[in-house]
A = this chain, B = another copy of it.
Amino acid sequence: MSTTDALQESYQRYLNQLFDAKLLIPSGVKGVYGRSGTFENVIDQFEQYVTRQTRDMKPEVVRFPPVFNRQHYAQTDHIYNFPDLMGSVHSFMGREPEHAELLHKFQCCGDWAHDLDATEVMLAPAACYPLYPSATGTLPEGGRLVDLKSFVFRHEPSDDPARMQSFRMREFVRLGTPEQALAHRDFWLENAQRILKSIGLDVQPVVANDPFFGRGGRQMKATQRDQHLKFELVIPICSEEKPTAITSCNYHLDHFGSVFKINSADGAVAHTACMGFGLERICLALFKHHGLNISQWPESVRKLLDLS
């Protein structure tokens, strides 16, 4: 059996275990699942644990819906770098004659969706994307620290239960001077390890890169790695050889600051950094490492996550 086949089999086996244990609910689409109350409660409790751990930092809490402004999307370089992952929202904007045409195509099993019109929104590819355009202007003295969470979309259908198309990301974002942004990234690289290790997830930090598209993307990946802009915390879920990133810590330099005209209090272009917990992946890692039955998880983990 090839390595790819073995990996594929391992994905299917774990996915079926999750379905059998009624933790995830199949939808007929790869990477799109319902979540049971048990699964959701682990995510809720992990989130509350993180909230308790960050209370002293007094972050501003902001929550965005899963859709965001198409014009803001167009200002980022997502369409250049990750076109294959995008989610563009389309709808029917015609009147009755066009509706009749749409239904005709639909009934004849044609590509009925092709003639829909692009709406004003895209699906957010990361929880922090909608924040930057809302921060245009001058930051307060000391910059901003923002606590975000949202459903994000990445079109990458996969059998890997940890590679969902629609999942939640809890992020802490720093907007300020280069020093503040870099310190945030470095603090969270340590702090997220401490949090995850405390609940029995023995993560390893690795230098990482985003999945830039195409041949041109190779150079981007190399540059990102050389500059040590992105770190991930990884842990095996379905494979020891290919561990899964459950947290990502990124320093964006002045990228979002210049695109969305965000300045720090001293007038310079703001730098930004974000740390994101992949909530479904963390939940899947917990079930993988502690077992599918929460009542048998280590007492210390159950206590920290208030699961007793």
In the complex, what residues of B have CB within 8 A of residue A28's CB?
Answer: 69, 71-72, 133
Q: Is the CB of B88 within 8 A of A213?
A: no
The contact of A88 among B37, B60, B86, B116, by CB within 8 Å, is: B116
Q: Tell whether, in the assembled complex, residue B89 and residue A89 are in contact, meaning their CB atoms are under 8 Å apart.
A: yes
**A91-B214 contact given A69-B32, A121-B29, A130-B27, CB 8 Å threshold:** no
**A87 close to B84 (CB less than 8 A):** no
The residue that A63 contacts in the complex, of B35, B68, B89, with Cβ under 8 A, is B35
- Contact A27 to B102, CB < 8 A, known contacts A37-B61, A37-B62, A96-B215: no
In the assembled complex, A34 has its CB within 8 A of some CB on chain B: yes
The answer to whether B106 touches A79 (Cβ under 8 A) is yes
Is the CB–CB distance between B29 and A120 below 8 Å? yes
Q: Mark A61-81, 1 if CB is under 8 A from B, else 0.
A: 111111111111010000110
A residues 15-47 touching B (CB-CB < 8 Å): 25-30, 32-37, 40-41
Interface of A, secondary structure class, is: mixed
CB atoms of B32 and A121 under 8 A apart: yes
Q: A33, A84, A93, A121: which has the most chain B beta carbons within 10 Å?
A: A121
Contacts of A87 in B (CB 8 A): 67, 89-91, 119
Say which residue of B34, B68, B103, B120 sits within 8 Å of A80 (CB atoms).
B103
Which residues of chain B have C-beta atoms less than 8 A from A95's C-beta? 214
Q: Is the CB of A166 within 8 A of B84?
A: no
Distance (whole angstroms) from the CB of A221 to the closest CB of chain B: 16
Cβ-closest chain B residue relative to A95 = B214
Establish whether residues A83 and B88, one from each chain, have CB atoms under 8 Å apart when the complex forms. Answer: no
Contact B86 A34 (CB under 8 A): no
* A165 within 8 Å of B (CB atoms): yes
Q: How far is the CA of A114 from the CA of B89 in the complex (A)?
A: 11
A196 at the binding interface (Cβ < 8 Å): no
Q: How far is the CA of A106 from the CA of B81 in the complex (A)?
A: 14
The complex places the Cα of A61 from the Cα of B23 at a distance, in Å, of 11
- On chain A, the number of residues with a Cβ less than 8 Å from chain B's Cβ atoms is 73
A118 CB–B CB distance under 8 Å: yes
Asked if B34 and A130 sit within 8 Å, CB to CB, the answer is: yes
**Which residues does chain B contribute within 8 Å of A99, judged by CB atoms?**
83, 213-214
Verify A113–B90 contact, CB threshold 8 A: yes
Interface residue ranges, A against B (CB under 8 Å): 25-30, 32-37, 40-41, 60-72, 74, 79-80, 83-93, 95-96, 99, 102-103, 106, 111-114, 116, 118-121, 123, 130-131, 133-134, 147, 151, 153, 155, 157, 164-167, 213-215
The 10 closest A-B pairs by CB, nearest first: A37-B61, A65-B166, A113-B118, A83-B92, A91-B155, A88-B90, A29-B120, A35-B63, A66-B66, A67-B166
